[in-house]
Structures are given as structure tokens and as C-alpha cells.
Amino acid sequence: MSRLGKKAIIIPEKTEVTFSDHVFNVKGPNGELKREFKDDILIKVEGNEIKLEPKKGSQQAQALWGTYASHISNMINGVNTPYEKKLVVEGVGFKSDVQGNKIVMSLGFSHPVELTIPEGLKATAEKNVITISGIDKEKVGQFTAEIRAKRKPEPYKGKGIRYEDEVIRRKQGKKAA
């Protein structure tokens, strides 16, 4: 039994929700999101709340119940207030810049690292902080993870790209004889 799935999801004002042919559509002040869901979970839109129930008692339906509730609440929250993640670029000579629809980073390699910003996301780079924002929580998280993967923080000097709230456990270097 899913604790998240049992709870009704409340639809805020200025948000339209429709569900037809396995496609869930959410429209809000910041944009519109669509997502296709499997037939295992029954999604009911009643007034200003959404209720989910598994159609069968199968193990897969039980597993998807809370997952679908989480996806739907993330979609509703995203169209009302955009999600935002910040990355900190640390290291001597490490810098980042947004040029058009690309992020160009100098990360200590012999070449600059370029990443295309996905559609629906906004990126800004100020000093050593990259801010990614958008209405789709999954896209924001995936793109920030891709940026971080280009140069993960290392434990000796702390150089690399890390999340703003991430704490890097530092190791002690070589001992002098």
C-alpha cells in the first residue's frame, strides 16, 4: 500500500488538469506539461483534487501507485513554481558561460566543454555558479547531472562541479617526510 498514492492531490487555482487516453495534461501559469501513464492505475479528476487507485492488486500496480502520484504532484508544482538547481564550479581557471542555447565551460581540459541546453530549460552562469531552471523536475535534474558529470568534484582539492548544497568530504594529501 502506498502512502503517497492514498492521499488526494489538490489542484491549486489557475491550474487546469485533464486526463484522457492515458495522457495526463497540466496547464498552469508557467507552461504546460504532458505525460503518458500506463493503464494499471486509475486516475480520477474530481473537482479540485486528483485520486489514484490501482486497477488490479498486482505487484507492478502497487509499485506504480506512489510513483504516479509523485509524478503528478511534481507536474502540478512545476507549472506553478519552476524548479531550480544550482551548480558551483570550483577550481583555478575553471569558468562557465552561457552563449545562446549552449553552456560553454572551461574545466581544465585542452578544449572547452560545450553542452546544448534542452528545450524548456533556462540556464544562467554568474561568476562560478550555474543556475538551471524549468517546469519539468526530471529535465532539470537530468541536465544538472549531465553538467556535473563533465567534471565531478575530487576529494583532495575540491576542484570540479558540485551541487550548491553538496558537501565534499576532503581527504588528506601526502605527508611530508
Q: For position 36, what pLDDT does the model report?
A: 94
pLDDT at 5: 82
Domain boundary among 80, 115, 148: 80
Q: Report if residue 175 sits inside a domain.
A: no
* Sites in the chain below the pLDDT cut of 70: 1, 177
Of 27, 51, 80, the residue that ends a domain is 80
Q: How many Å apart are CA 101 and CA 3, to the nearest integer? A: 41
Structure-block grid coordinates of residue 174: 601526502
Distance from chain centroid for Cα 67 = 15
Q: What burial class does residue 116 get, using C-beta atoms within 10 Å of its C-beta: 0-12 exposed, 13-18 middle, 19+ buried?
A: exposed
Domain that holds residue 26: 3-80
Sign of the four-CA dihedral 4, 65, 23, 33: positive
Instruction: Tell me if 95 sits within 8 A of 110, measured CB to CB.
Output: no
Q: Which CATH number belongs to the domain containing residue 134 in this structure? A: 3.90.930.12
Q: Report the candidate in 14, 147, 23 with the shortest Cα–Cα distance to residue 79.
A: 14
pLDDT value, residue 1 = 64
What is the pLDDT at residue 111?
95
Those residues whose C-beta lies under 8 Å from the C-beta of residue 29, and which sit 6 or more positions away, are 14, 15, 79, 80
Tell me, yes or no, whether 123 lies in a domain. yes
Per-residue pLDDT tens over the stretch 59-72: 888 888 989 999 99
